[in-house]
A and B are shown apart, each in its own frame.
Chain A
Protein backbone atom coordinates (compact mmCIF):
# COMPACT_ATOMS: atom_id res chain seq x y z
CA UNK A 1 0.00 0.00 0.00
CA UNK A 2 1.65 3.15 -1.17
CA UNK A 3 -0.50 5.82 0.43
CA UNK A 4 -2.53 5.37 3.55
CA UNK A 5 -4.81 8.24 2.58
CA UNK A 6 -6.35 6.05 -0.07
CA UNK A 7 -7.94 4.09 2.68
CA UNK A 8 -10.14 6.92 3.86
CA UNK A 9 -10.33 9.36 0.98
CA UNK A 10 -13.44 11.23 2.13
CA UNK A 11 -12.35 12.22 5.62
CA UNK A 12 -10.59 15.60 5.92
CA UNK A 13 -7.52 15.28 8.12
CA UNK A 14 -4.83 17.52 9.47
CA UNK A 15 -3.22 18.48 12.76
CA UNK A 16 -5.94 21.03 13.54
CA UNK A 17 -8.77 19.17 11.89
CA UNK A 18 -12.04 19.36 13.78
CA UNK A 19 -12.84 15.88 12.62
CA UNK A 20 -14.34 14.42 15.73
CA UNK A 21 -13.23 11.16 17.14
CA UNK A 22 -16.87 10.05 17.09
CA UNK A 23 -17.15 10.52 13.35
CA UNK A 24 -13.91 8.80 12.77
CA UNK A 25 -15.16 5.84 14.74
CA UNK A 26 -18.35 5.77 12.75
CA UNK A 27 -16.49 5.87 9.50
CA UNK A 28 -13.88 3.35 10.44
CA UNK A 29 -15.92 1.04 12.60
CA UNK A 30 -15.30 0.39 16.25
CA UNK A 31 -12.98 -2.51 15.67
CA UNK A 32 -10.43 -0.89 13.43
CA UNK A 33 -10.88 2.67 14.69
CA UNK A 34 -7.77 2.87 16.78
CA UNK A 35 -5.63 1.53 13.98
CA UNK A 36 -7.10 3.95 11.45
CA UNK A 37 -6.62 6.92 13.77
CA UNK A 38 -2.93 6.37 14.13
CA UNK A 39 -2.50 5.98 10.39
CA UNK A 40 -4.38 9.18 9.67
CA UNK A 41 -2.36 11.12 12.20
CA UNK A 42 0.83 10.01 10.54
CA UNK A 43 -0.47 10.81 7.08
CA UNK A 44 -1.93 14.11 8.24
CA UNK A 45 1.30 15.23 9.81
CA UNK A 46 2.79 15.60 6.36
CA UNK A 47 0.17 18.16 5.31
CA UNK A 48 0.41 21.95 5.72
CA UNK A 49 -1.77 23.49 8.44
CA UNK A 50 -5.15 24.65 7.09
CA UNK A 51 -5.98 28.31 6.67
CA UNK A 52 -8.14 29.69 9.56
CA UNK A 53 -11.34 29.95 7.53
CA UNK A 54 -11.25 26.20 6.88
CA UNK A 55 -11.71 25.53 10.57
CA UNK A 56 -15.50 26.05 10.48
CA UNK A 57 -17.00 22.56 10.50
CA UNK A 58 -19.82 21.70 8.14
CA UNK A 59 -23.06 21.21 10.07
CA UNK A 60 -23.72 17.61 11.03
CA UNK A 61 -26.59 16.14 9.01
CA UNK A 62 -29.48 14.97 11.21
CA UNK A 63 -28.62 11.33 10.63
CA UNK A 64 -25.31 11.76 12.39
CA UNK A 65 -27.17 12.21 15.68
CA UNK A 66 -28.04 9.25 17.90
CA UNK A 67 -29.35 6.41 15.72
CA UNK A 68 -32.27 4.04 16.04
CA UNK A 69 -32.22 1.26 18.63
CA UNK A 70 -31.81 -2.37 17.61
CA UNK A 71 -34.91 -4.11 16.34
CA UNK A 72 -35.58 -7.82 16.11
CA UNK A 73 -36.82 -7.54 12.53
CA UNK A 74 -34.86 -5.75 9.85
CA UNK A 75 -36.16 -2.53 8.38
CA UNK A 76 -36.01 -1.07 4.91
CA UNK A 77 -34.86 2.55 4.69
CA UNK A 78 -37.85 4.90 4.85
CA UNK A 79 -36.26 6.57 1.84
CA UNK A 80 -36.70 3.41 -0.21
CA UNK A 81 -40.21 3.05 -1.56
CA UNK A 82 -40.46 -0.46 -2.79
CA UNK A 83 -43.56 -2.57 -2.56
CA UNK A 84 -45.74 -5.15 -4.23
CA UNK A 85 -48.94 -4.18 -6.02
CA UNK A 86 -51.96 -6.44 -5.92
CA UNK A 87 -54.69 -6.93 -8.42
CA UNK A 88 -57.57 -6.44 -5.99
CA UNK A 89 -56.65 -2.81 -5.50
CA UNK A 90 -58.85 -0.99 -2.98
CA UNK A 91 -61.73 -3.44 -3.22
CA UNK A 92 -62.83 -4.45 0.29
CA UNK A 93 -64.35 -7.65 -1.02
CA UNK A 94 -62.86 -10.88 0.18
CA UNK A 95 -62.75 -12.52 -3.23
CA UNK A 96 -60.79 -9.60 -4.69
CA UNK A 97 -58.42 -9.64 -1.75
CA UNK A 98 -57.73 -13.36 -1.77
CA UNK A 99 -58.07 -14.58 -5.35
CA UNK A 100 -55.70 -12.72 -7.60
CA UNK A 101 -52.12 -11.58 -8.00
CA UNK A 102 -49.55 -9.59 -6.09
CA UNK A 103 -46.81 -8.23 -8.35
CA UNK A 104 -43.11 -7.93 -7.46
CA UNK A 105 -41.62 -4.45 -8.03
CA UNK A 106 -39.22 -5.49 -10.80
CA UNK A 107 -38.35 -1.90 -11.73
CA UNK A 108 -37.02 -1.30 -8.21
CA UNK A 109 -35.11 -4.54 -7.76
CA UNK A 110 -31.54 -5.46 -8.63
CA UNK A 111 -29.43 -8.59 -8.65
CA UNK A 112 -31.18 -11.92 -9.17
CA UNK A 113 -32.58 -12.80 -5.74
CA UNK A 114 -35.99 -11.37 -4.91
CA UNK A 115 -36.25 -10.27 -1.27
CA UNK A 116 -38.69 -12.75 0.24
CA UNK A 117 -41.14 -10.10 1.41
CA UNK A 118 -41.38 -8.79 -2.15
CA UNK A 119 -41.80 -12.19 -3.83
CA UNK A 120 -44.81 -12.22 -6.14
CA UNK A 121 -47.98 -14.09 -5.18
CA UNK A 122 -50.74 -15.75 -7.11
CA UNK A 123 -53.42 -16.99 -4.77
CA UNK A 124 -56.70 -18.69 -5.52
CA UNK A 125 -58.13 -18.48 -2.03
CA UNK A 126 -55.89 -16.40 0.18
CA UNK A 127 -52.69 -17.06 2.10
CA UNK A 128 -53.18 -19.74 4.67
CA UNK A 129 -51.21 -19.85 7.90
CA UNK A 130 -50.32 -23.41 8.83
CA UNK A 131 -48.99 -24.65 12.17
CA UNK A 132 -46.01 -26.77 11.09
CA UNK A 133 -46.28 -28.93 14.20
CA UNK A 134 -49.73 -30.05 13.05
CA UNK A 135 -49.00 -30.25 9.34
CA UNK A 136 -48.90 -33.64 7.67
CA UNK A 137 -48.00 -34.67 4.15
CA UNK A 138 -49.73 -37.74 2.80
CA UNK A 139 -48.20 -39.78 -0.03
CA UNK A 140 -50.41 -42.55 -1.39
CA UNK A 141 -51.88 -44.09 -4.54
CA UNK A 142 -49.66 -46.30 -6.69
CA UNK A 143 -46.93 -46.69 -4.09
CA UNK A 144 -45.72 -49.71 -2.13
CA UNK A 145 -45.67 -47.91 1.22
CA UNK A 146 -48.31 -45.17 1.61
CA UNK A 147 -46.87 -42.77 4.15
CA UNK A 148 -47.60 -39.68 6.13
CA UNK A 149 -44.79 -37.32 7.05
CA UNK A 150 -44.60 -34.59 9.65
CA UNK A 151 -42.50 -31.56 8.86
CA UNK A 152 -39.86 -32.90 11.24
CA UNK A 153 -39.85 -36.09 9.19
CA UNK A 154 -39.44 -34.17 5.93
CA UNK A 155 -36.49 -32.26 7.34
CA UNK A 156 -34.65 -35.45 8.23
CA UNK A 157 -34.14 -36.30 4.59
CA UNK A 158 -30.87 -35.15 2.98
CA UNK A 159 -31.41 -31.68 1.64
CA UNK A 160 -30.50 -29.80 -1.48
CA UNK A 161 -30.34 -26.08 -2.17
CA UNK A 162 -30.90 -24.49 -5.56
CA UNK A 163 -31.57 -21.06 -7.00
CA UNK A 164 -34.57 -20.91 -9.33
CA UNK A 165 -37.15 -18.51 -10.61
CA UNK A 166 -40.85 -19.01 -10.05
CA UNK A 167 -43.22 -17.46 -12.54
CA UNK A 168 -46.98 -17.46 -12.88
CA UNK A 169 -47.82 -18.65 -16.35
CA UNK A 170 -50.17 -15.68 -16.70
CA UNK A 171 -47.22 -13.33 -16.15
CA UNK A 172 -46.89 -10.69 -18.90
CA UNK A 173 -50.36 -11.74 -20.08
CA UNK A 174 -51.28 -8.10 -20.72
CA UNK A 175 -49.11 -8.54 -23.79
CA UNK A 176 -51.87 -10.48 -25.54
CA UNK A 177 -54.47 -7.75 -25.25
CA UNK A 178 -51.99 -4.87 -25.24
CA UNK A 179 -50.92 -2.91 -22.16
CA UNK A 180 -51.49 0.83 -21.69
CA UNK A 181 -48.51 3.21 -21.90
CA UNK A 182 -48.30 3.52 -18.13
CA UNK A 183 -48.10 -0.25 -17.51
CA UNK A 184 -44.90 -0.69 -15.54
CA UNK A 185 -42.48 -3.61 -15.47
CA UNK A 186 -44.10 -4.55 -12.16
CA UNK A 187 -47.69 -4.69 -13.40
CA UNK A 188 -46.70 -6.22 -16.71
CA UNK A 189 -44.07 -8.79 -15.70
CA UNK A 190 -44.02 -8.78 -11.89
CA UNK A 191 -45.33 -12.33 -11.43
CA UNK A 192 -41.82 -13.74 -11.40
CA UNK A 193 -39.23 -13.92 -8.64
CA UNK A 194 -36.03 -15.80 -7.92
CA UNK A 195 -35.10 -17.37 -4.59
CA UNK A 196 -32.67 -19.81 -3.10
CA UNK A 197 -34.81 -22.82 -2.25
CA UNK A 198 -33.89 -25.62 0.11
CA UNK A 199 -35.58 -28.95 0.64
CA UNK A 200 -35.66 -32.60 -0.27
CA UNK A 201 -35.47 -33.95 -3.83
CA UNK A 202 -38.72 -35.62 -4.90
CA UNK A 203 -36.73 -38.71 -5.91
CA UNK A 204 -35.88 -39.32 -2.25
CA UNK A 205 -39.55 -39.28 -1.27
CA UNK A 206 -40.38 -41.47 -4.26
CA UNK A 207 -37.87 -44.08 -3.21
CA UNK A 208 -39.05 -43.88 0.36
CA UNK A 209 -42.65 -44.75 -0.57
CA UNK A 210 -41.71 -47.07 -3.43
CA UNK A 211 -43.46 -45.61 -6.47
CA UNK A 212 -44.83 -48.44 -8.57
CA UNK A 213 -44.29 -49.32 -12.17
CA UNK A 214 -46.86 -47.55 -14.33
CA UNK A 215 -47.36 -44.67 -11.91
CA UNK A 216 -46.55 -42.11 -14.58
CA UNK A 217 -48.24 -39.12 -12.92
CA UNK A 218 -48.81 -37.71 -9.47
CA UNK A 219 -51.41 -35.34 -8.11
CA UNK A 220 -50.15 -32.63 -5.75
CA UNK A 221 -52.68 -30.91 -3.54
CA UNK A 222 -52.56 -27.99 -1.12
CA UNK A 223 -54.11 -27.58 2.30
CA UNK A 224 -55.49 -24.12 1.52
CA UNK A 225 -59.17 -23.29 1.10
CA UNK A 226 -59.01 -23.85 -2.67
CA UNK A 227 -57.23 -27.18 -2.17
CA UNK A 228 -55.32 -26.27 -5.27
CA UNK A 229 -54.23 -29.37 -7.15
CA UNK A 230 -52.23 -30.19 -10.26
CA UNK A 231 -50.97 -33.33 -12.00
CA UNK A 232 -47.23 -33.65 -12.58
CA UNK A 233 -45.65 -36.27 -14.86
CA UNK A 234 -43.18 -38.65 -13.29
CA UNK A 235 -40.39 -37.60 -15.65
CA UNK A 236 -40.31 -34.13 -14.11
CA UNK A 237 -40.41 -35.52 -10.60
CA UNK A 238 -37.40 -37.67 -11.40
CA UNK A 239 -35.61 -34.86 -13.18
CA UNK A 240 -35.33 -31.95 -10.74
CA UNK A 241 -38.46 -31.62 -8.57
CA UNK A 242 -38.07 -30.79 -4.88
CA UNK A 243 -40.26 -30.37 -1.83
CA UNK A 244 -38.95 -27.12 -0.40
CA UNK A 245 -39.22 -25.61 3.06
CA UNK A 246 -36.39 -23.06 2.95
CA UNK A 247 -36.51 -19.78 1.01
CA UNK A 248 -33.52 -17.46 1.05
CA UNK A 249 -32.12 -18.89 4.23
CA UNK A 250 -35.28 -18.88 6.35
CA UNK A 251 -38.36 -21.05 6.50
CA UNK A 252 -40.37 -20.54 3.35
CA UNK A 253 -42.92 -17.76 3.84
CA UNK A 254 -46.66 -18.44 4.19
CA UNK A 255 -47.20 -16.51 0.98
CA UNK A 256 -44.97 -19.00 -0.83
CA UNK A 257 -46.48 -22.06 0.80
CA UNK A 258 -45.20 -22.47 4.37
CA UNK A 259 -44.39 -25.00 5.61
CA UNK A 260 -43.88 -26.98 2.38
CA UNK A 261 -44.35 -26.51 -1.34
CA UNK A 262 -43.52 -28.30 -4.52
CA UNK A 263 -40.75 -26.79 -6.64
CA UNK A 264 -40.61 -27.68 -10.34
CA UNK A 265 -37.73 -25.62 -11.72
CA UNK A 266 -38.66 -23.75 -14.88
CA UNK A 267 -42.32 -24.79 -14.92
CA UNK A 268 -45.36 -22.57 -14.65
CA UNK A 269 -45.92 -21.45 -11.09
CA UNK A 270 -49.40 -22.92 -10.74
CA UNK A 271 -48.04 -26.48 -10.90
CA UNK A 272 -45.84 -25.90 -7.87
CA UNK A 273 -48.44 -26.51 -5.22
CA UNK A 274 -48.12 -24.42 -2.06
CA UNK A 275 -49.10 -25.57 1.44
CA UNK A 276 -48.58 -29.09 0.15
CA UNK A 277 -50.47 -31.76 2.04
CA UNK A 278 -51.13 -34.64 -0.36
CA UNK A 279 -49.36 -36.48 -3.17
CA UNK A 280 -51.23 -39.24 -5.00
CA UNK A 281 -49.51 -41.38 -7.61
CA UNK A 282 -51.59 -42.63 -10.52
CA UNK A 283 -51.28 -43.90 -14.06
CA UNK A 284 -52.49 -40.77 -15.87
CA UNK A 285 -53.19 -37.06 -15.41
CA UNK A 286 -55.98 -36.26 -12.98
CA UNK A 287 -57.42 -33.41 -15.12
CA UNK A 288 -57.92 -30.90 -12.35
CA UNK A 289 -59.62 -27.56 -12.88
CA UNK A 290 -56.27 -25.78 -13.24
CA UNK A 291 -55.18 -28.00 -16.14
CA UNK A 292 -58.50 -27.88 -18.00
CA UNK A 293 -60.59 -24.75 -17.42
CA UNK A 294 -57.50 -22.68 -16.63
CA UNK A 295 -53.82 -22.87 -17.52
CA UNK A 296 -54.73 -24.23 -20.93
CA UNK A 297 -53.86 -22.04 -23.87
CA UNK A 298 -56.67 -21.19 -26.31
CA UNK A 299 -55.66 -20.74 -29.94
CA UNK A 300 -57.44 -18.68 -32.64
CA UNK A 301 -58.93 -21.86 -34.20
CA UNK A 302 -60.66 -22.71 -30.92
CA UNK A 303 -58.29 -25.52 -29.96
CA UNK A 304 -56.54 -25.40 -26.60
CA UNK A 305 -53.08 -26.56 -25.67
CA UNK A 306 -52.88 -28.53 -22.45
CA UNK A 307 -49.88 -29.34 -20.22
CA UNK A 308 -47.74 -26.48 -21.50
CA UNK A 309 -45.37 -26.57 -18.58
CA UNK A 310 -42.10 -24.75 -19.19
CA UNK A 311 -41.98 -20.99 -19.00
CA UNK A 312 -40.35 -19.86 -22.21
CA UNK A 313 -37.30 -17.65 -22.56
CA UNK A 314 -37.97 -14.07 -21.49
CA UNK A 315 -36.14 -10.86 -20.67
CA UNK A 316 -36.94 -7.26 -19.99
CA UNK A 317 -35.09 -4.07 -19.28
CA UNK A 318 -35.91 -3.09 -15.70
CA UNK A 319 -33.99 0.21 -15.81
CA UNK A 320 -35.04 2.36 -17.45
CA UNK A 321 -38.60 1.10 -17.74
CA UNK A 322 -42.11 2.56 -17.67
CA UNK A 323 -42.51 5.10 -14.89
CA UNK A 324 -38.79 5.88 -14.75
CA UNK A 325 -37.24 9.13 -15.85
CA UNK A 326 -33.86 9.17 -17.58
CA UNK A 327 -32.42 12.31 -15.97
CA UNK A 328 -30.44 13.71 -18.91
CA UNK A 329 -28.68 12.73 -22.11
CA UNK A 330 -25.30 11.07 -21.64
CA UNK A 331 -23.99 7.81 -20.27
CA UNK A 332 -26.42 5.45 -18.50
CA UNK A 333 -26.22 1.77 -17.81
CA UNK A 334 -29.29 -0.13 -18.93
CA UNK A 335 -29.99 -3.25 -16.90
CA UNK A 336 -32.57 -5.98 -16.70
CA UNK A 337 -33.31 -9.64 -16.13
CA UNK A 338 -33.55 -12.69 -18.37
CA UNK A 339 -34.61 -16.26 -17.68
CA UNK A 340 -35.77 -19.44 -19.34
CA UNK A 341 -37.69 -22.42 -18.04
CA UNK A 342 -36.14 -24.56 -20.74
CA UNK A 343 -32.57 -24.07 -19.51
CA UNK A 344 -29.83 -21.48 -19.20
CA UNK A 345 -29.65 -18.03 -20.73
CA UNK A 346 -26.78 -17.89 -23.21
CA UNK A 347 -27.12 -14.32 -24.36
CA UNK A 348 -29.12 -11.11 -24.15
CA UNK A 349 -29.07 -8.50 -26.86
CA UNK A 350 -30.20 -4.94 -26.39
CA UNK A 351 -31.47 -2.50 -28.97
CA UNK A 352 -31.67 1.23 -28.27
CA UNK A 353 -32.95 2.11 -31.73
CA UNK A 354 -36.28 0.35 -32.02
CA UNK A 355 -34.82 -2.96 -33.13
CA UNK A 356 -32.84 -1.68 -36.11
CA UNK A 357 -29.63 -2.88 -34.51
CA UNK A 358 -28.80 -5.09 -31.55
CA UNK A 359 -25.70 -5.33 -29.37
CA UNK A 360 -24.71 -7.97 -26.83
CA UNK A 361 -25.37 -7.18 -23.19
CA UNK A 362 -23.07 -8.41 -20.46
CA UNK A 363 -24.51 -11.26 -18.39
CA UNK A 364 -23.64 -10.63 -14.77
CA UNK A 365 -22.66 -13.55 -12.56
CA UNK A 366 -24.06 -15.89 -11.53
CA UNK A 367 -25.66 -17.27 -14.69
CA UNK A 368 -27.73 -20.23 -13.47
CA UNK A 369 -30.16 -22.55 -15.21
CA UNK A 370 -33.84 -21.76 -14.68
CA UNK A 371 -33.01 -18.65 -12.66
CA UNK A 372 -33.13 -14.94 -13.29
CA UNK A 373 -29.91 -13.62 -14.78
CA UNK A 374 -29.10 -9.93 -14.61
CA UNK A 375 -27.68 -8.21 -17.67
CA UNK A 376 -26.27 -4.74 -18.22
CA UNK A 377 -25.60 -2.64 -21.22
CA UNK A 378 -23.81 0.73 -21.49
CA UNK A 379 -25.73 3.40 -23.29
CA UNK A 380 -24.97 6.96 -24.26
CA UNK A 381 -28.34 8.56 -24.78
CA UNK A 382 -28.32 11.33 -27.36
CA UNK A 383 -31.50 12.89 -26.03
CA UNK A 384 -33.75 11.86 -28.92
CA UNK A 385 -36.82 9.64 -28.42
CA UNK A 386 -35.78 6.00 -28.31
CA UNK A 387 -37.44 2.62 -28.10
CA UNK A 388 -35.21 0.36 -26.03
CA UNK A 389 -35.69 -3.39 -25.67
CA UNK A 390 -33.91 -6.64 -24.89
CA UNK A 391 -34.16 -10.13 -26.29
CA UNK A 392 -32.77 -13.24 -24.66
CA UNK A 393 -31.66 -16.58 -26.06
CA UNK A 394 -31.34 -19.81 -24.09
CA UNK A 395 -29.24 -22.92 -24.54
CA UNK A 396 -32.01 -24.64 -26.48
CA UNK A 397 -31.56 -21.92 -29.11
CA UNK A 398 -34.90 -20.27 -28.50
CA UNK A 399 -34.92 -16.47 -28.79
CA UNK A 400 -37.73 -14.23 -27.61
CA UNK A 401 -39.98 -13.31 -30.53
CA UNK A 402 -41.34 -9.93 -31.57
CA UNK A 403 -44.88 -9.46 -30.25
CA UNK A 404 -46.69 -9.53 -33.60
CA UNK A 405 -45.03 -12.82 -34.53
CA UNK A 406 -46.27 -14.35 -31.30
CA UNK A 407 -49.78 -12.98 -31.80
CA UNK A 408 -49.86 -14.29 -35.38
CA UNK A 409 -49.63 -17.81 -34.00
CA UNK A 410 -51.32 -17.58 -30.62
CA UNK A 411 -53.93 -14.88 -31.07
CA UNK A 412 -55.12 -12.67 -28.23
CA UNK A 413 -57.02 -15.20 -26.08
CA UNK A 414 -54.07 -17.40 -25.18
CA UNK A 415 -53.73 -15.72 -21.73
CA UNK A 416 -50.61 -17.62 -20.61
CA UNK A 417 -46.92 -17.90 -21.49
CA UNK A 418 -46.53 -14.50 -23.12
CA UNK A 419 -42.80 -14.06 -23.73
CA UNK A 420 -42.40 -11.50 -26.50
CA UNK A 421 -39.83 -8.71 -26.52
CA UNK A 422 -40.75 -5.77 -24.25
CA UNK A 423 -40.26 -2.33 -25.86
CA UNK A 424 -40.02 0.80 -23.67
CA UNK A 425 -40.26 4.30 -25.10
CA UNK A 426 -37.77 6.86 -23.74
CA UNK A 427 -39.20 10.19 -24.82
CA UNK A 428 -37.17 13.32 -25.51
CA UNK A 429 -37.87 14.58 -21.99
CA UNK A 430 -36.53 11.31 -20.53
CA UNK A 431 -39.95 9.98 -19.45
CA UNK A 432 -40.29 6.24 -20.02
CA UNK A 433 -43.55 4.57 -21.04
CA UNK A 434 -44.66 1.16 -22.27
CA UNK A 435 -44.54 1.09 -26.07
CA UNK A 436 -46.14 -2.35 -26.42
CA UNK A 437 -49.59 -2.23 -27.94
CA UNK A 438 -49.12 1.33 -29.23
CA UNK A 439 -49.25 2.01 -32.93
CA UNK A 440 -46.03 3.12 -34.57
CA UNK A 441 -47.69 6.25 -35.87
CA UNK A 442 -48.44 7.33 -32.29
CA UNK A 443 -44.79 7.12 -31.30
CA UNK A 444 -42.26 9.88 -32.11
CA UNK A 445 -41.21 9.36 -35.72
CA UNK A 446 -37.48 9.30 -35.02
CA UNK A 447 -37.84 6.11 -32.95
CA UNK A 448 -38.04 4.19 -36.26
CA UNK A 449 -39.71 1.32 -34.47
CA UNK A 450 -40.91 -1.54 -36.59
CA UNK A 451 -44.59 -2.35 -36.10
CA UNK A 452 -43.81 -6.01 -35.37
CA UNK A 453 -42.41 -5.16 -31.93
CA UNK A 454 -45.48 -3.18 -30.87
Chain B
Protein backbone atom coordinates (compact mmCIF):
# COMPACT_ATOMS: atom_id res chain seq x y z
CA UNK B 1 0.00 0.00 0.00
CA UNK B 2 1.23 3.48 -0.85
CA UNK B 3 1.97 6.04 1.82
CA UNK B 4 -1.08 7.98 2.92
CA UNK B 5 -0.85 11.64 3.83
CA UNK B 6 -2.22 12.45 7.29
CA UNK B 7 -6.00 12.89 7.04
CA UNK B 8 -5.61 16.01 9.21
CA UNK B 9 -4.90 19.46 7.77
CA UNK B 10 -1.69 21.27 8.67
CA UNK B 11 -3.69 23.54 11.00
CA UNK B 12 -5.36 20.56 12.66
CA UNK B 13 -1.99 18.88 13.23
CA UNK B 14 -0.70 22.02 14.92
CA UNK B 15 -3.89 22.42 16.96
CA UNK B 16 -3.62 18.87 18.12
CA UNK B 17 0.08 18.53 18.98
CA UNK B 18 1.39 22.05 19.57
CA UNK B 19 1.19 22.19 23.35
CA UNK B 20 2.74 18.75 23.77
CA UNK B 21 5.75 19.70 21.65
CA UNK B 22 6.01 23.24 23.02
CA UNK B 23 6.51 21.56 26.39
CA UNK B 24 9.22 19.28 24.97
CA UNK B 25 11.17 22.22 23.52
CA UNK B 26 11.08 23.93 26.91
CA UNK B 27 12.28 20.67 28.49
CA UNK B 28 15.31 20.66 26.17
CA UNK B 29 16.04 24.31 26.96
CA UNK B 30 15.77 23.67 30.69
CA UNK B 31 17.97 20.57 30.39
CA UNK B 32 20.74 22.56 28.67
CA UNK B 33 20.39 25.30 31.33
CA UNK B 34 20.63 22.64 34.04
CA UNK B 35 23.84 21.25 32.59
CA UNK B 36 25.26 24.80 32.44
CA UNK B 37 24.36 25.53 36.06
CA UNK B 38 25.75 22.23 37.35
CA UNK B 39 29.24 22.00 38.88
CA UNK B 40 32.33 20.06 37.86
CA UNK B 41 33.36 18.51 34.58
CA UNK B 42 31.18 17.36 31.70
CA UNK B 43 30.70 20.66 29.84
CA UNK B 44 32.04 18.98 26.72
CA UNK B 45 30.04 15.75 27.11
CA UNK B 46 29.50 14.19 23.69
CA UNK B 47 25.81 13.62 24.38
CA UNK B 48 25.20 17.31 25.00
CA UNK B 49 27.10 18.18 21.82
CA UNK B 50 25.04 15.62 19.90
CA UNK B 51 21.78 17.05 21.23
CA UNK B 52 22.79 20.54 20.11
CA UNK B 53 23.59 19.18 16.64
CA UNK B 54 20.12 17.59 16.58
CA UNK B 55 18.57 20.96 17.38
CA UNK B 56 20.20 22.42 14.26
CA UNK B 57 18.49 19.76 12.12
CA UNK B 58 15.12 20.83 13.51
CA UNK B 59 15.42 24.30 11.98
CA UNK B 60 17.21 23.54 8.69
CA UNK B 61 13.98 23.51 6.71
CA UNK B 62 14.72 20.10 5.14
CA UNK B 63 12.35 17.09 5.22
CA UNK B 64 12.65 13.84 7.21
CA UNK B 65 14.02 15.44 10.34
CA UNK B 66 13.26 12.40 12.54
CA UNK B 67 15.22 10.06 10.27
CA UNK B 68 18.13 12.51 10.05
CA UNK B 69 18.24 13.07 13.81
CA UNK B 70 18.36 9.31 14.36
CA UNK B 71 21.14 8.99 11.79
CA UNK B 72 23.10 11.78 13.43
CA UNK B 73 22.88 9.87 16.73
CA UNK B 74 23.93 6.55 15.12
CA UNK B 75 27.17 4.62 14.94
CA UNK B 76 28.06 4.58 11.23
CA UNK B 77 30.91 2.07 11.45
CA UNK B 78 30.40 -1.23 9.65
CA UNK B 79 32.60 -3.85 11.35
CA UNK B 80 31.50 -5.80 14.46
CA UNK B 81 33.38 -4.77 17.61
CA UNK B 82 35.72 -7.18 19.38
CA UNK B 83 33.75 -7.44 22.64
CA UNK B 84 30.69 -5.80 24.18
CA UNK B 85 31.89 -3.17 26.67
CA UNK B 86 28.51 -3.07 28.44
CA UNK B 87 24.89 -4.11 27.93
CA UNK B 88 23.34 -0.68 27.53
CA UNK B 89 23.71 2.17 25.05
CA UNK B 90 24.44 5.86 25.57
CA UNK B 91 22.20 7.33 22.87
CA UNK B 92 24.92 9.06 20.85
CA UNK B 93 28.37 8.29 19.47
CA UNK B 94 31.43 9.66 21.23
CA UNK B 95 33.50 10.69 18.23
CA UNK B 96 36.28 11.98 20.47
CA UNK B 97 36.67 8.74 22.41
CA UNK B 98 39.75 6.55 22.15
CA UNK B 99 39.18 4.14 19.29
CA UNK B 100 36.05 6.08 18.27
CA UNK B 101 33.86 4.09 15.98
> Do A and B form a real pair?
no
Measured CB to CB, the residues of A under 8 A from B are none
Measured CB to CB, the residues of B under 8 A from A are none
